[in-house]
Amino acid sequence: MRLFIAIPLSQSFRDSLITVQNEWFNRGIRGNYSSEENLHITLAFIGEFPDPDLVLDALSSVSFSPVPIELSGIGSFGDLWWAGISGPPDLEAVSRRIRRVLSENGIPFDRKRFNPHITLLRKASAARIPAVEIPQASMEVESIVLFRSDRGKSGMIYTELGRVVCET
């Protein structure tokens, strides 16, 4: 099964992101918009791996304090448009810790540099991102989730397999 580890987003954070997607849509930008329930920040992409319990065991050894994050700007990787996140030193440390326990347990993952973002739109129909106002959004990262990703009839379906919650 195809696995990845990600931060789920608060409702207010999602609301802000949906506002941005709606603005783009209203300006005629078409493509594959991420659905509200799929919005997330990936910390580590594992890909095909048969043993989610091993991943959950490894994850359970990661402890972290709540990490405050804010929405910060819009960017693109080619025709994939994303929202950026500020607060990265702490987030990056969490991502590093996760990647270390994956390595220690022999669990493969994509080693591309951590670049915290939330994919909003794939296959954007326009070359330029229109300047739209980005609503303020902030939240505390309090849990980290192992997701399974499956291709559904109308887009990807992400299913939570387990989570670790921050220390309070």
Q: Please give the structure tokens belonging to residue 84.
A: 């950026």
Cβ proximity to ligand 2AM: between 66 and 84 the closer is 84
Cβ proximity to ligand 2AM: between 64 and 147 the closer is 147
Q: How near is the Cβ of 168 to ligand 2AM at its closest, in Å?
A: 27
CB crowding 78-105: b at 16 or more within 10 Å, else e: eebbbbbbebbeebbebbebbbebbeee
* CA–CA distance, 77 with 124 (Å, rounded to integer): 11
Q: How near is the Cβ of 95 to ligand 2AM at its closest, in Å?
A: 12
* CA–CA distance, 46 with 110 (Å, rounded to integer): 6
The residue from 85, 99, 119, 141 that contacts ligand 2AM (CB under 6 A) is 119
Cβ proximity to ligand 2AM: between 65 and 125 the closer is 125
How many other C-beta atoms lie within 10 A of the C-beta of residue 16?
18
Q: How near is the Cβ of 167 to ligand 2AM at its closest, in Å?
A: 26
Q: State yes or no: residue 149 binds ligand 2AM (CB under 6 A).
A: yes
Between the alpha carbon of residue 10 and those of residues 41, 63, 71, 156, 168, the distances in Å are 12, 20, 12, 20, 18
Among the listed residues 5, 35, 39, the one whose alpha carbon sits nearest the alpha carbon of residue 162: 5
Q: State yes or no: residue 42 binds ligand 2AM (CB under 6 A).
A: yes
Q: State yes or no: residue 45 binds ligand 2AM (CB under 6 A).
A: yes
Cβ proximity to ligand 2AM: between 63 and 103 the closer is 103
Per-residue interface string for the shown chain with ligand 2AM, residues 95-114, x marking contact by CB under 6 A? ---------------x----
Residues near ligand 2AM (CB under 6 A) are: 4, 42, 45, 110, 119, 149
